[in-house]
Structure 1
């Protein structure tokens, strides 16, 4: 119960206080958190201020696999939530560990952006028109595995080069002539208003995205039930069941967010009516020599529990096909 006395117009001091939204400091994080902040303002009628928080993943220059991968971009935000320093946090869903802390709640998963990966290459080249030996930058073992597998299948020669850095830094590798191209998430490029620089969208049949890619997660403390209930208005149920299935697959494979695992849940429509969901998953060696790629189709999950079950079923089939031996990082 809120015992804060109301002001003359009936609004409590607590309701007048700006909501503190925790965000990473990168340009992309600030852009997507700003979009969420505006939605929360419109929803609650309260001002929202961004609180910039530096995470370990932002300051380390090591590869994600070396620094632990899972959770390196979110732990500082979660600590701030639990300490009461912020009221809510916005994460890129693909960065979240699959295990949800009991004292925090994913209050909303808004409508997902385009989940695909994209190529940004010199001279607007595509994978089909890149020269032999083209150097392609990516910080993702998942992308490396699938790009190298594509090249082997099509008799092409490319070199995948591991890189770190924000979107500006990665694109600069191309504009400075150090690399022929880089592969990034379409959603991030779109949120920064840089879609005109995209050379090619990579269809999921070629490269499956990371589980949860393109989706945002809005998190708050379980103890702040009124805020969680308000934020739930921003939740998209189709996005939630889709990413829940994808993350369930990741969890059942016991893989972290930097393991070479791709997953995408598609909602399949019969005319205007969504009738089924197809979940696709892939695990591969980074050299592209071996891929385990399977899919499963079932009714659209009516609950998170059903979405979890779908992910586990596909994971079991992939493990039967040898997926465990292809993952460099295992979540313990």
Structure 2
């Protein structure tokens, strides 16, 4: 598909406000390359259930229906939040493009413009993410973590109506929705590392559709692809030997011999009482090996014994 197709490409997406913004971004990028693209909304299990994600399947609940639509031919490609994708590849599908990523850090949205260090002991902070819960507890601020699901407006509304003192959300999602005015502090990764793949999009299609795979490659950003490859490889290795929440953040930066990848990772118990943090650096082209080696170092340092009290509930929201 080196030239624009005469048949519109059907781009599958969830129907949430954030998913639609992300899908329109992919649509516009492809239209700029001369492709006709129409959006097809697909309802996923994660969209219709209000139960905690761990109870309805954890990672994958937002993507299974989209992948089924790809495999049965209802759509030609799908746009996902990369952190929603299981680390195990789907048969017959391929992530053909990972566009340049948004700022992957977490953001605090608190009452009265408060920062994390300003929150009083006992302050109620909402999040549905065991990863955030673990790292916030580890800071020893004496805050209460309250489980939370729902879209961005629902979560921010809990602060506005006084139910919560603050919520923690992905800055990328707030940026894409034009809600950065709600952010009172962008959290330093030295305090709270984001989820592997946070802030990045994955554009998936059928592996056999080689012309489309080639066309989507024009949207791929090499530095982002390397960073998320390292993060997700680390997560995949840890998932085999660790039930605790995981945070990871890789960045491409100029080194002595050109671009290098720097990755930091944390494995923490959900109550914050135990945490292991490590980092690694290596060549951009060795992203998968860097992630794998760092995961093995974490396991060697006892990450497998850092057990999440909620067991499998350590999946990201």
Matched, 1:128 2:117: yes
> Match for residue 52 of structure 2?
63
The answer to whether the 8 A contact 1:88-1:220 is kept is yes
Identify the match of residue 177 of structure 2 among 178, 185, 192.
192
The answer to whether the 8 A contact 1:61-1:164 is kept is yes
Distance 2:115 2:63 in 1: 34
Distance 1:35 1:71 in 2: 22
Distance 1:268 1:231 in 2: 25
Rate the CA distance shift 1:62–1:259 in 2: closer, same or farther, 3 A: farther
SS in 1 for 2:117: coil
Between structure 1 and structure 2, the one with the greater Rg is 1
Alignment of 1:139-150 (within 5 A): 139-150=128-139
Equivalent pairs counted in the alignment come to 309
> Match for residue 81 of structure 1?
70
TM-score, normalising length from structure 1? 0.89
> Match for residue 94 of structure 2?
105
4+ residue runs of structure 1 moved beyond 6 angstroms?
none
> Match for residue 238 of structure 1?
223
SS in 2 for 1:16: coil
Shift of 1:50: 0.9
SS in 1 for 2:118: coil
Identify the match of residue 54 of structure 1 among 43, 52, 58.
43
Aligned-residue RMSD, C-alpha: 2.0
Identify the match of residue 239 of structure 2 among 250, 254, 269.
254
Alignment of 1:165-176 (within 5 A): 165-176=150-161
Distance 1:39 1:30 in 2: 14
Distance 1:255 1:61 in 2: 28
Matched, 1:290 2:280: no
Segments of 5+ residues of structure 2 without an aligned counterpart are none
Distance 1:130 1:144 in 2: 15
Matched, 1:317 2:305: no
C-alpha distance after superposition, 1:238-283 (max 9, x if no partner): 1001100100000001269x95110011223249x85321111111
TM-score, normalising length from structure 2? 0.93
Distance 2:117 2:221 in 1: 36
